[in-house]
Structure formats: structure tokens, C-alpha cells
């Protein structure tokens, strides 16, 4: 079982498997839970011909922002899981199944001469539970069938050894009409009674072959005696057994409390699915993508990731089912090969595989979208090649103080922050944006030439004709002018300037290529401003401490490393500060900072 998340515009990627779906509003509130034999078809029906839907459905659809789907093995499992989720989450658009009722179970009690009865609540202390049944009628038919095939008591008497020995009870009408053999008066031994109970459990578990053989023999015997009405009744019971379904992988109480973990291993990326099973019900599930490190094995990934997932879902289960062996003390790791446990492994692997396919589709979609935008940008700017690598420059200063600059690096339309660069302006005095731009462009590409590295496919300058001309001069000095396409983007009207062309280019304001250029320009501006702010703040802090007589570089650094900011130092008293720098120095610092406050 696994959740996959989609935008409402990505319906084509929803799988066609059976399962349940959940609708969420923009705030993440769960609106509705539903089941489907084909998730893709069912969800698509909400968004097709909406004018034919009821007002309630139209309102629901208008609020949907994201969709999560959960894949299961069958429509029956989807029905059970839908019921569990509605009971647990109470979505506001789910009217049915909101009451406190759940699917019924049959219980074989844990006592001498066990009884069999139906219940809607799970209490493992009661005995062994079988089910759930999606139809109360089917459950009652099964219970009636069991009681007609075997002599199971229906009374609530305490049939202890002492009570029977003391003959506290008398047989009731059930004994006289042949439905009970009278264990209350010791007319039936406990051993014989438990033999019947074991056969009942086999039937409820789904092992129907022995009882089918018995019914067929009885049907043939009654038919030979020309008791056709009785034979027809037995035939009906046999037909009921043929359609009898007592177990589900979603709610299977033979599994009790376990975890299920499977992994699809890859050289670069692995996909891990985790399921938590409590009282036989899958309570939580998640698939995660794990970046595989160099030479890292699937066992190492599981040993690292499983404890994190168990902690996240507060699991203390002592057994983990998996498709790969690994070590995790004090937990038992089991690799099932057959049976219900293997079905859980298969279901977990199915969801891990679906998640992998969805991730690959998402990456392909992003790559296709990026390529489309870059091709559009190439056409708009009339470039010879697709601008996969774009570098953008911006500078920042306030009245010429602390002049700095930045360069941001975009690859395939996405920022690559490890390639970002900060620059302190070294050769320019005063507020000269043109000269500052010329310096940083020169320094950037002079370094690439010296290191024999590749040039970008496009250079973007944050500014108009002046900044662009200064940048071109730097490229001419390096002898690479004309080898790298370069443009300037002005903020006022989003004009695009080209070298030696006084007429700017205007791209449609809704164009994806212009939005990409704006994103790159804004990122360069943000990066430059943050660097300028940090530098100005650091210089301000240092200058205040440098004004204090007797405070050298060593003491200043000790104060800043310990208390980080002047504001924190101002909050201290002399005694606290003296523990770090001594009494006399502490007094000088406190006195100087107080004077600063008074002189404001």
C-alpha cells in the first residue's frame, strides 16, 4: 500500500490499479476518500463534464488542489481500506461510513468449549478473529452454515471443570432440537468439541476443501434417497462456500503486529517502501527515494533508513518482513517465500516500483519542460545553441560603501548553487556600477581561461546598456568577445539589450523564457544583496569593538565567537563578561557600549 501525490493537472500519470484516492485542498485538509476499481478512470470522471455533477460534487472539485492515491491488490481490499481511512480521518465530504460501525468479524472465543459470534470491534483478548466481511448477510450465512455443520453452543454459561462436575447446568432447547450435544452436562467431551472448532477455523480461514467434500457426499446421499429438497438446500450451502471469502491482505489478523520493508536497489537511486501492520491492519505506509552513495549496498541503506522510518511511525514491532536481508537488533528479519507474508512483500514491492516509475515520469516531465523553455529562449534571443548553462552577474553597494558583486549559475533552467560566486570589488573606488561590472566579468572569465574550463552558453547582465557595454569591454580585453552570447536585462520595462544595438528587445510578459530570465536576474540580485548585508553588518560589529581602548584582535574575536553579536554583548553584566576577558577589560567594554547607547 502506498500514497502517490499528484497535482490535479497531472491526471494522466495516475495508475489504473484498484485502490483508494484522497482529495486535499490547498491547505492540506483532507476533503474526501473514495475507492475505485480503476483509480485513473474514477478520478478522471470528477473532472469531466462537471456541469452534470451534483452541487456537492462541483464544490468538492473546485476545492481540490492535490490528489493522493493508494494502490492495493483488489477492489475488495480497496473497500476495506476506504472504510478504515474514513473512520480514522472523518473527511468532510464523506457522508457514508462516518459512523462508528466497521466491517463485521467472526470471533472464536478463547475459553473452554469456545463460542462463535459476530463483532465489529477488534479485541485480541477475546479470541481469534476471522474476517472482515463486506456483507453482514454473507457473514450471517457463514455463521449459520458453521452452526448447522457443527454442534457449536450458543449459550453464555461458564463451562469450567468445577461447574460441570457440580452439575450446575441443565441442557436447553438447543440440545433437544439437535443443535448442541450438551457439553454443559458433560454429554460431549472437550476433546470432541475442540475437534469441531478446529474444522470451523479451517473453514473460516478459507480452507474449504474438506467441507466441500463432506457437503458433496451429503448432497449425493440425500439425492439417492430422493430427498430432493434437502439436497437442494445442501447445494445452496455448497454454492455459498464457493463464494465465501474470509480473508484480506489489507485486514488480516493472522499477521498481528509486523513491519514490511522492501527495496528496489539502484547504482545512483534506490526506492524503499515501508508498511506498519498493527492488529493485522496496515496502519501506515511510505515510499522514500534514497540517493545511493558510492559502493553503498542495499543492506547498508536498509540499516540506515529503516530505524528512521520506524521512529517516524512509532513502530516497536519485533519482526520485519523484507525482500533483502540486513541486520537490525533486536528485531527479527524474515524473508518470506510463500503465503500471506509473501503477498505483503509483493504488495510492498509493487508500490515501490510504481513510486519509481512516477518519479522517473516526473523527472522526464521536468526535463521536457526545461528543454521547451530553453528552446523558446534560444528562439527569442536568436542564439545558435540551446543556453543550457547561463551565468548572471549583479553588483550591490550603498553610496559606494562595501561594494560587492555576485554571479549565479543555472544549468538546464535550474540553479546550481555550488557554482555561485561572491566578489569583493578590488579596483573600483566609489559608486561606479559600470566599472564594478567590468571588473567582476573580467575576473570570472580570466579565471576560466587560466583553468581551461568551459564557457557558459549565455551571459546575463543585470542592468541596461551601461552595464552591458562595460561587460563587453572586459570580454574584449580577454579576447573572447563574440565567443559567448551576452545580454543585459533592465528592470524598469524588462528590456533586453544586445551588444552594439541601441534598440532593446521586448519579450511577451507571459513568455516562459522571459520568466526564466527574470528568475535568474532576481536570484543574482538576492545573492548580491545578502552578501552586501552580511559584509556591512560584520564591518559595523568589528568597528564598534575596535573603538574600545585596550581591545585587540584576539579579544575582539573571542567576544564575537562566544556571543556572536553586539546586541548579545550589551545584555551581559560585568561579572559575566569578566569570566571571559577579565574584570578590567569587561568594565571598559560595558562602559563603552553604554556611552554608545546614550549618544544615540
Find the domain containing 296 and state its range.
Answer: 258-357
Cell of 44: 478522471
Residues 401 and 497 in one domain: yes
How many Å apart are CA 172 and CA 313, to the nearest integer? 51
Exposure of 200 by Cβ count < 10 A (0-12 exposed, 13-18 middle, 19+ buried)?
buried
φ, ψ of residue 409 in degrees (nearest 5): -125, 120
**Grid cell of 37 as nine digits:** 476499481
The phi and psi torsions of 392 (rounded to 5 degrees) equal: -125, 135
The pLDDT score that the predictor gives to residue 207 is 65
| Domain match, 333 and 440 both | no
Identify the domain boundary among 175, 193, 208. 208
Q: Indicate if 402 and 516 belong to the same structural domain.
A: yes
Q: Which three cell numbers stand for residue 295?
A: 559502493
> Which element (helix H / strand E) includes 239?
helix 228-242
Bridge partner list, 109: 127
65 three-state secondary structure: coil
Domain-terminating residue out of 302, 335, 357: 357
Full-model pTM: 0.40
115 and 191 belong to one structural domain: yes
Residue 322 lies in a domain: yes
Contacts of residue 266, Cβ cutoff 8 Å, sequence gap at least 6: 292
What's 17's domain CATH number? 3.40.1440.10
Q: Is 234 among the domain residues?
A: no
Give the model's pLDDT for residue 84. Answer: 67
pLDDT at 247: 43
Q: Is residue 229 part of a domain?
A: no
Q: What is the CATH number of the domain that holds 588?
A: 1.10.150
Decide if 251 is inside a domain. Answer: no
Cβ-proximal residues to 551 (8 Å cutoff; 6+ apart), any chain: 545, 585, 588, 589
| Residue at 98 is within a domain | no
pLDDT at 92: 76
- The string of DSSP codes covering 252-291 is -TTS-SEEEEEEE--SSEEEEEEEEEETTEEEEEEEEEEE
Q: What pLDDT digit, counting tens, does each position of 306-346 carry?
A: 888 888 888 888 889 999 888 888 888 989 888 778 888 88
pLDDT value of position 103 = 63
**Residue 103 and residue 63 in contact, taking contact as beta carbons nearer than 8 Å:** no
484, part of any domain: yes
In tens, the pLDDT along 269-280 reads: 888 988 888 766
- Domain final position from 357, 372, 397: 357
Tell me, yes or no, whether 405 and 473 share the same domain. Answer: yes
Per-residue pLDDT of the chain (600 residues), as tens digits, is 445 555 656 677 788 888 888 888 888 888 888 888 888 888 888 888 777 777 778 888 888 888 888 887 766 667 667 766 776 677 877 754 334 445 678 899 999 999 998 887 777 788 888 766 655 666 776 787 788 778 899 999 999 999 999 999 999 998 998 889 999 999 999 999 998 898 788 777 766 677 778 778 888 999 888 888 888 878 877 776 665 544 444 445 555 688 899 998 887 888 898 888 876 666 677 888 888 776 778 888 888 888 888 888 888 888 899 998 888 888 889 898 887 788 888 888 887 888 887 777 777 766 666 788 888 888 888 888 889 999 999 887 654 456 778 899 999 888 998 899 888 878 777 677 788 889 999 999 999 999 989 999 999 998 888 889 999 999 999 999 989 999 999 876 788 989 988 788 888 877 888 889 989 988 988 888 876 566 655 555 556 777 777 777 788 778 877 877 777 888 888 888 888 888 888 888 888 877 765 555
- pLDDT computed for residue 442 by the predictor: 93
Grid cell in block for residue 91: 473527511
b/e per residue, 306-334, with b = 16+ CB within 10 A?
beebbeebebebebbbbbbebebeebebe
511/552 same-domain check: no
The CATH number covering residue 487 comes to 3.30.420.340
The verdict on 401 and 328 lying in the same domain is no
Shared domain for 411 and 517, answered yes or no, is yes
Answer yes or no: do 457 and 322 share one domain: no
Q: Is residue 69 part of a domain?
A: yes
**SS3 label, residue 64:** coil
Mark whether 415 and 495 lie in a shared domain: yes
Identify whether the C-beta of residue 474 lies closer than 8 Å to the C-beta of residue 441: yes
Q: Are residues 21 and 79 in the same domain?
A: yes
- Looking at the domain assignment, is residue 477 inside a domain? yes
pLDDT at 596: 64
Q: Please indicate, yes or no, whether residues 353 and 482 belong to a single structural domain of this protein.
A: no
Whether residue 594 contacts residue 569, with contact meaning beta carbons closer than 8 Å, is answered with: no
Number of independent structural domains in the chain: 5
Amino acid at each position: 500500500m502506498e500514497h502517490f501525490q499528484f497535482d490535479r493537472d497531472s491526471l494522466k500519470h495516475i495508475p489504473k490499479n484498484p485502490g483508494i484516492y484522497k482529495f486535499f485542498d490547498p491547505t492540506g485538509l483532507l476533503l474526501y476518500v473514495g475507492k475505485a476499481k480503476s483509480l485513473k478512470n474514477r478520478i478522471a470522471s470528477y473532472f469531466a463534464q462537471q456541469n452534470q455533477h451534483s452541487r456537492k460534487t462541483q464544490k468538492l472539485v473546485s476545492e481540490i488542489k492535490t490528489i493522493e492515491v493508494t494502490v492495493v491488490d483488489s477492489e475488495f481490499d480497496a473497500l476495506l481500506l476506504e472504510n478504515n481511512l474514513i473512520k480514522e480521518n472523518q473527511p468532510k465530504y464523506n457522508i457514508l461510513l462516518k459512523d462508528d460501525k466497521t466491517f463485521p468479524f467472526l470471533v472464536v472465543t478463547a475459553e473452554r468449549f469456545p463460542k462463535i459470534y459476530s463483532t465489529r470491534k477488534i479485541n485480541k483478548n477475546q479470541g481469534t478473529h476471522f474476517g472482515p466481511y463486506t456483507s453482514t448477510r454473507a457473514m450471517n450465512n457463514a455463521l449459520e452454515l458453521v452452526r448447522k455443520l457443527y454442534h457449536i453452543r450458543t449459550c453464555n454459561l461458564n463451562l469450567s471443570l468445577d461447574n460441570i462436575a457440580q452439575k450446575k447446568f441443565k441442557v436447553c432447547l438447543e440440545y433437544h432440537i439437535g443443535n448442541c450435544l450438551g457439553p454443559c452436562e458433560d454429554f460431549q467431551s472437550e476433546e470432541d468439541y475442540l475437534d469441531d472448532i478446529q474444522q470451523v477455523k479451517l473453514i473460516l480461514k478459507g480452507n474449504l476443501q474438506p467441507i466441500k467434500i463432506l457437503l458433496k457426499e451429503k448432497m449425493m446421499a440425500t439425492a439417492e434417497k430422493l430427498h430432493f429438497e434437502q439436497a437442494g438446500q445442501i447445494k445452496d450451502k455448497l454454492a455459498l462456500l464457493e463464494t465465501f471469502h474470509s480473508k484480506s491482505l489489507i485486514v488480516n489478523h493472522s499477521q498481528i503486529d509486523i513491519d514490511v520493508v522492501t527495496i528496489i536497489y539502484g547504482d545512483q537511486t534506490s526506492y524503499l517502501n515501508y508498511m506498519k501492520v498493527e492488529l493485522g491492519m496496515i496502519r501506515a505506509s511510505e515510499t522514500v527515494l534514497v540517493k545511493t552513495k558510492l559502493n553503498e549496498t542495499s543492506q547498508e541503506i536498509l540499516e540506515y533508513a529503516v530505524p528512521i522510518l520506524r521512529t517516524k511511525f512509532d513502530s516497536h514491532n519485533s519482526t520485519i518482513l523484507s525482500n533483502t536481508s540486513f541486520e537490525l537488533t533486536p528485531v527479527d528479519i524474515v524473508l518470506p517465500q510463500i503465503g500471506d507474508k509473501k503477498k505483503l512483500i509483493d504488495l510492498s514491492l509493487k508500490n515501490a516500483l510504481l513510486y519509481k516509475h512516477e518519479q522517473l515520469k516526473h523527472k522526464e516531465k521536468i526535463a521536457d519542460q526545461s528543454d521547451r523553455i530553453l528552446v523558446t529562449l534560444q528562439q527569442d534571443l536568436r542564439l545558435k545553441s540551446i543556453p543550457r548553462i547561463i551565468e548572471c552577474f549583479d553588483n550591490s553597494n550603498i553610496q559606494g560603501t562595501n561594494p560587492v558583486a555576485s554571479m549565479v549559475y543555472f544549468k538546464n533552467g535550474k540553479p546550481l548553487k555550488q557554482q555561485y560566486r561572491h566578489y569583493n570589488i578590488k579596483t573600483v573606488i566609489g559608486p561606479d556600477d559600470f566599472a564594478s561590472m567590468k571588473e567582476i566579468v573580467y575576473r570570472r572569465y580570466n579565471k576560466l581561461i587560466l583553468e581551461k574550463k568551459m564557457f557558459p552558453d549565455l551571459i546575463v547582465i543585470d542592468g541596461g546598456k551601461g552595464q552591458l557595454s562595460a561587460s563587453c569591454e572586459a570580454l574584449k580585453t580577454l579576447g573572447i568577445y563574440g565567443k559567448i552570447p551576452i545580454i543585459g536585462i533592465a528592470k524598469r520595462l524588462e528590456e533586453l539589450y544586445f551588444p552594439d544595438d541601441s534598440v532593446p528587445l521586448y519579450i511577451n510578459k507571459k513568455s516562459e523564457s522571459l520568466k526564466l530570465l527574470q528568475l535568474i536576474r532576481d536570484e543574482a540580485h538576492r545573492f548580491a544583496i545578502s552578501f552586501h548585508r552580511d559584509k556591512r553588518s560584520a564591518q559595523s560589529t568589528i568597528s564598534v569593538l575596535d573603538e574600545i581602548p585596550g581591545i585587540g584582535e584576539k579579544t575582539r574575536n573571542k567576544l564575537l565567537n562566544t556571543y556572536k553579536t553586539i546586541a548579545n554583548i550589551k545584555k551581559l553584566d560585568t561579572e559575566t563578561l569578566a569570566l571571559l576577558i577579565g574584570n578590567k577589560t569587561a568594565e571598559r567594554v560595558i562602559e563603552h557600549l553604554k556611552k554608545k547607547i546614550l549618544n544615540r
